[in-house]
Each structure stands twice: as C-alpha cells, then as structure tokens.
Amino acid sequence: MKFSSSRWAFCLGFLVGAFSGHFFLSQAWFERSYPVLSEAQERGSMVVEESPTNWRKDGAAFFNLLHPHHPDEDSGLADMLYQKVRVLCWVMTGPYNLQRRARHVRATWSRHCNVVVFMSSVEDPDFPTVGLGTKEGRDQLYWKTIRAFHYVYEHHARDADWFLKADDDTYVVVDNLRWVLSNHTPDEPIYFGKRFKPYTKQGYMSGGAGYVLSKEALKRFVVGFRTKVCTHSTPVEDLALGQCLEKMGVAAGDSRDTLHRETFHPFVPEHHLTSTFSKSFWYWSYCYYPIVEASPSLLFFRWDCCINGFKNAPKRQQC
C-alpha cells in the first residue's frame, strides 16, 4: 500500500511538472514570436507618423524631395508624371483645426504634392502655417482664398505648374489629378474642379470639392485684382472666384474621366457611393454635367472631419 501511494505521488508530480514545463516553454516561445508592446510603445504605435522625412522645409512650405509609393508597386508612370506635372497644394485651415484635421492632411495625401503650404488666419511657425491676416468664419473664405493665391503666386510661382486649393477636410488622390492635368499645359488659362452651373455663363467650381488652377490662370487671377477687374464682391468663395476667372478669360475645364464620370466630389464618399439624391435636392440643379449616381471616379472627396474618414480613400494612396 505504501509503495502504491508513493508511485501515485511520483506519477502525479511528474505530470504536474511536465505540464508546467510545457506551459512555461510555450509562453516563452509565444512572447519571443509575438512580442507584447509596452504601454509607451503601444501609445507610440497609435500616433500618425507625421515626420516629413522626404520633405525639405523652406519657410512655411514643404518641398517633396521624393515621390512616395509602395515598394511593391509599378510606379514608373506616376514617377514620370510627378516630374512632368508639378502640383503645389495649398490647404485652407485654421488655428483650431491644425491638430484635428490639418495634421492628418500633412501626414497623408499631401505628401504626393510637389509643394505643400498650409494657409491659416494667423501664422504658426511650428506647424507651420502662413498667416493671411484674416478672421475665421465662412464669411472670410474668399478673403483667405484671395490672399492665399496671391501668396503662392508671389512666393512659389516658379516652383509648380498647377496650383491646387483644398480644404482641411478634403482628400485628394494627387497621382490621379496629375493624370487629368497631363492632357493640358500650364500655359493654358484653365482651371478644373466640380463644375456647377448657376450664376455664371461657363459655370464655376465647387469650393468644397477643391479646384486647381494652371499657372496662367493663377497669374490672371492675381492680375484681375491688381487691375481692379476683380474685387471682393461676395463672401461666397467658389462663386466669386469663378466670376473673376470668367472675366479674366480663364476657361472652366471638364475634369470628367474618359467614361464621363466626375472626378471632383463635394460630399463624403458614402453619399456618392451608396446614396441617391432626392430630386428636390439642390445638387441636381447645380451640377453642370448629368449626375451619374453611385459610380464616381476617385480623385477628390470630402472626408468626415476625423482621421477615420481616410479609411474610405483608395488603398493606393492612404499615406
């Protein structure tokens, strides 16, 4: 009986020891194969990478030194257009939106621009932003636009061929934009965007969707104010700009793709992709071209005022 009890105790001890050894060895292998981040590391991994390692900062402007792309993609055409079609992107923002919106623009799609400038009502050398000396508010949008275009003309006219205005809640697929612009020259007096039709003969481009001016169009816009052909006649930024450009002989271009799909979109992606607009909605009477619902070509989108909105962006340019 004593021998039987000892044998059972030995067997039980052996099984407990073997199980414990297996558990600890498995745990060690798991931690080595799948290391657990410390709390500080975990917080750091959640921060959007903002360091513009491929950019040269010059005053308030970022100059992109290297066209970004994923290592496994064929970027030959995009790299060629990056050199041939130089785009300056200026982003309209404000002091209260720098951390909520603008920093995400700085960390993502704007890295595909040749030059990037953030325009605000006040200067912020740390971000950095250009201070335009205006107040904040919708009634200040056209003043900010006038002064911003004057600024880029005076400081960066030689640095780019096309000059894009975007808000801090706009997402732009810049490589697709270059493809559209490659069919034109910067010497043409032309601009592109989401074309609306009321109030002007040739229509005007929606401010919310963003718009892009050729170098000649930019020059004529500035000259229009210098010669007083154009004035600050209304706070409605996109309409006022369209009226000025029309007076200065700048054409409203057709930015649709080869399948006649729009490439500039004033609403968030889900509205264009999954919704239908009521026939009484103002959008129907404003659009210059026939609306083709749920089949947009991806180039410009508004996003949802937070970083999650970028999840709806095309995968080829999420960063």
- Residue 151 maps to which CATH number? 3.90.550
pTM: 0.76
- Residue 71 pLDDT more than 80? no
Closest CA to 176 of 312, 297, 318: 297
What are the percentages of helix, strand and coil residues in the chain, rounded to 5?
40, 15, 40
What is the model's pLDDT at position 202? 97
Among 102, 139, 107, 104, CA closest to 119: 102
Question: What is the structure's pLDDT at 6?
Answer: 64
Average confidence score pLDDT of the chain: 81
In sequence order, what are the residues at sequence separation of 6 or more whose Cβ sits closer than 8 angstroms to the Cβ of residue 80? Answer: none
* Residue indicated by tokens 């264009």: 272
- Residue 263 belongs to some domain of the structure: yes
What values do phi and psi take at 249, rounded to 5? 75, 25
Containing structural domain, residue 253: 55-302
314 part of a folded domain: no
Region 234-260: mean pLDDT is 93
The pLDDT value given to residue 19? 55
Question: CB 69: neighbour CB atoms within 10 A?
Answer: 17
Q: Please indicate, yes or no, if residue 150 is contained in any of the structural domains.
A: yes
d(CA 310, CA 319): 9
Q: Is residue 40 part of a domain?
A: no
Q: Would you state the pLDDT for residue 22? A: 52
In a domain, 24, yes or no: no
165 domain-assigned: yes
Question: Would the pLDDT of 121 be above 80?
Answer: yes
Count Cβ atoms below 10 Å from residue 59 Cβ, excluding itself. 11
pLDDT band at 4 (very low <50, low <70, confident <90, very high): low
pLDDT over 90 at 127, yes or no: yes
Domain membership of residue 313 (yes or no) is no
* Structure token pair of residue 34: 């799948």
Q: Per the structure, how many domains does the chain have? A: 1
Pick the residue with more confidence: 212 or 311? Answer: 212
- Give percent of the chain above pLDDT 70: 75
Q: Residue 218 domain-assigned?
A: yes
